[in-house]
């Protein structure tokens, strides 16, 4: 499998910890972009909705927006950036499978894949 998968680290509502995680994702992403390789961020659906504190929400939504911007840049070079969001009912192997599919697809870019049904009826991210 070519490309990178970055699982969002869980944090408390503490700015240095939030910035450290976002910086870590930035470094992974910049390296991938420089190598012209695709990447996928993995976040929790609860965090996209702000249900587990500001710190985790900032990271999840920040990564989603960053992926959309990176996707625009990758589209010109042939690599992609996407996000997989999972819920409490998701198993890790299923989430990893979706990340793998996105890395290999090549024609899905800047997209949010929400695994499971927990997102239905909730706000669009």
Burial class (CB in 10 A: 0-12, 13-18, 19+), 65: exposed
**Cβ of residue 9: shortest distance to another protein, in angstroms?**
15
| 71 is a site residue for another protein (CB under 8 A) | yes
| 9 is a site residue for another protein (CB under 8 A) | no
Calpha distance 20→104 (Å, rounded): 29
Strands of 4-7's sheet in order across: 4-7, 39-44, 81-86, 112-114
Which residue, 106, 97, 118, 110, is CA-closest to 48?
A: 118
| 112 is a site residue for another protein (CB under 8 A) | no
CB distance 50 to 57 below 8 Å: yes
| 53 is a site residue for another protein (CB under 8 A) | yes
**Cβ of residue 45: shortest distance to another protein, in angstroms?**
12
| 89 is a site residue for another protein (CB under 8 A) | no
**Cβ of residue 93: shortest distance to another protein, in angstroms?**
27
Chain-centroid distance of CA 1 in Å reads 17
Q: Considering only 4-12, 55-63, 86-94, 98-106, which stretch makes contact with another protein by CB under 8 A?
A: 55-63
Binding site for another protein (CB under 8 A): 13, 15, 18-19, 22-23, 26, 29-30, 33-34, 47-54, 56-66, 68-73, 110, 123
């Amino acid at each position: 499998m070519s490309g990178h998968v970055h699982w969002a680290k869980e944090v408390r509502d503490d700015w240095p910890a939030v910035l450290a995680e976002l910086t870590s994702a930035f470094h992974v992403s910049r390296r991938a972009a420089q190598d012209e390789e695709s990447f996928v961020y993995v976040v929790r659906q609860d965090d996209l909705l702000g249900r587990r504190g500001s710190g985790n929400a900032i990271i999840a939504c920040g990564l989603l927006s960053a992926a959309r911007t990176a996707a625009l840049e990758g589209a010109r070079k042939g690599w992609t950036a996407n996000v997989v969001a999972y819920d409490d009912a998701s198993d890790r192997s299923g989430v990893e499978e979706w990340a793998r599919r996105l890395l290999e697809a090549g024609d899905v870019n800047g997209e949010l894949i929400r695994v499971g049904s927990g997102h239905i009826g909730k706000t669009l991210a």
